[in-house]
Structure 1
Amino acid sequence: MPIRNNPDSPDLDKPSLPPRPMVELQRRGELRVEKFLEAATEVFNEKGYQAARLSDIVKRAGGSMATLYRAFGDKEGLIHALMERSIHNFGQSLDELANSTLPPELALEQAAYRMVEEMLTPARIACHRVVFAEGMNQPELRDWFHAHGVQPMEELLSQYFTRETEAGRLYVEDPARAAHQFYMLVIGGVILRSVNGRMSPDDLPVAKENARSAVRLFLSGAMPRN
């Protein structure tokens, strides 16, 4: 059966990222930036985005408010930096899937493990909590995260399913829709539970086992027909 892409999938223009001041490149500056990001992750997770104060972050990280402003501009710049890093790390797991020569059942299982590992990092949990809590009040932040952090990942999955179906190793009628379904089946529950505090990085072994089961369930409907 020929592969068809989902005609209902919108081709949205990706929101542009507001410019952020250049981060100091000296080693000392790099270490300070890392400390700011670590402190911001902790404060966002503890207090939420709205209640978090830059002074709290500076106090925990050390350094000065001037250095923080020079590196990130403001609180929104900090959360953008966390989002960018998490998106990059998550994207690497799917890049490995795209280049994998393993059978789909092994390649997808490994990709699912890497996906849940990133979903349960404190930084990713902080990003999701901000997007969930502030999505209505700051739709541009929510839409940026979706356009840069969700949509490209589903596109990579769609390309993988297209390739594997054309090679006869999978049977996927609609790669775009299947990509969304796989994404949500593997990590949807992890995102929801980590956002509401019912799952933490300590639950990674359970999350990986759930991901393994999700991959098997997905493949039960996606293996080639005899």
Structure 2
Amino acid sequence: MTAVHDSDQDRELSPAVEESPESAKPRQILEGARKVFLVQGFDGASMGEIAKVAGVSKGTLYVYFDSKESLFEALTTEEKRGLAEVLFKLDPEDPDVRGVLRTLGLSYLRRMGKPEHISSIRMVMGAAEKFPRLGQAFYEAGPCQGIARLKAYFDRQVEAGRLSIEDTGVAAQHFLDLCVSGMLRRLLFSVGEPPTEEQIQKNVENALRVFFAAYGPDAPRQ
């Protein structure tokens, strides 16, 4: 599988060069909202400030988004779904399953450890208590999408005899959890520094070793 580098991901997540006015305006608003939310958080952000940073009037802002909650949900859904589509481009025909998962694990952990991603998670967690729908939207657009794509990949590998898995959905969750392996939790609580490339690679290799011990082609099904 061809590795997907962060620069490739950024290009794929960025808007197309040519957009219709109908699609360009909401994206302009979302870009402004992203800047305001990252600096001020969900509670501190206001629709007035978002309109100002986005370069639109409040009237125009409300044409596209009727509340701060709907704007935040749209931003979260777009970003997380786009990220899942980029990270989880897995070639089911590649016989080197370990290599495919290594590339995924490295890209996944590099993204999860980015300061802006950690800030987004904290922001959603803070807002979800008052607005549960925001937490649900974040989870469905991000983790659920990634797990579903990885599950589909595992289904194909089981059919090909390259993996031995009883529940591919659980296995998908296991692999991603093994990759982050406590690292994400430390970052969320601001414990220590962001992971180095060496630490990321070590985490992924450890994850692969444990995963294949449980789900390799010769592993017994429970």
TM above 0.5: yes
The answer to whether structure 1 residue 85 and structure 2 residue 75 are counterparts is: no
Distance across 1 between alignment mates of 2:34 and 2:202: 26
- Give the equivalent residue in structure 2 for 1:75: 68
Q: Secondary structure at the match of 2:163?
A: coil
Native 8 Å contact 1:40 1:57 kept in 2: yes
The answer to whether structure 1 residue 38 and structure 2 residue 31 are counterparts is: yes
Q: Secondary structure at the match of 1:76?
A: helix
Distance across 2 between alignment mates of 1:69 and 1:204: 42
> Out of 49, 72, 88, which is 1:56 matched to?
49
- Give the equivalent residue in structure 2 for 1:209: 201
> Out of 101, 108, 126, which is 2:101 matched to?
108
Native 8 Å contact 2:76 2:137 kept in 1: no
Give me the identity figure in percent.
Answer: 28
Runs of at least 5 residues in structure 2 that lack an aligned partner in the other structure: 1-18
- After superposition, residues 1-226 of structure 1 pair within 5 angstroms as 25-26=20-21, 30=24, 33-93=26-86, 95-97=88-90, 99=92, 101-120=94-113, 124-187=117-180, 189=182, 191-197=184-190, 205=197, 208-210=200-202, 212-213=204-205, 214-225=207-218
Distance across 1 between alignment mates of 2:186 and 2:32: 23
Distance across 2 between alignment mates of 1:135 and 1:191: 19
The TM-score normalised by the length of structure 1 is 0.70
Distance across 2 between alignment mates of 1:122 and 1:82: 17
**Cα-Cα RMSD:** 3.3
| Alpha carbons of structure 1 residues 45 and 164: separation in structure 2 relative to 1, 3 Å | same
Distance across 1 between alignment mates of 2:28 and 2:181: 30
Native 8 Å contact 1:35 1:61 kept in 2: yes
Listed one character per residue, the Cα deviations across residues 126-156 of structure 1 (whole Å, up to 9, x for unaligned) are: 5422321122221122123323432232222
Distance across 2 between alignment mates of 1:207 and 1:50: 34
| Alpha carbons of structure 1 residues 146 and 164: separation in structure 2 relative to 1, 3 Å | same
| Alpha carbons of structure 1 residues 219 and 104: separation in structure 2 relative to 1, 3 Å | same
Distance across 2 between alignment mates of 1:118 and 1:46: 19
| Alignment-mate amino acid for residue 90 of structure 1 | L
Native 8 Å contact 1:170 1:224 kept in 2: yes
The alpha carbon displacement at 1:56 in A equals 2.5
Runs of at least 5 residues in structure 1 that lack an aligned partner in the other structure: 1-23
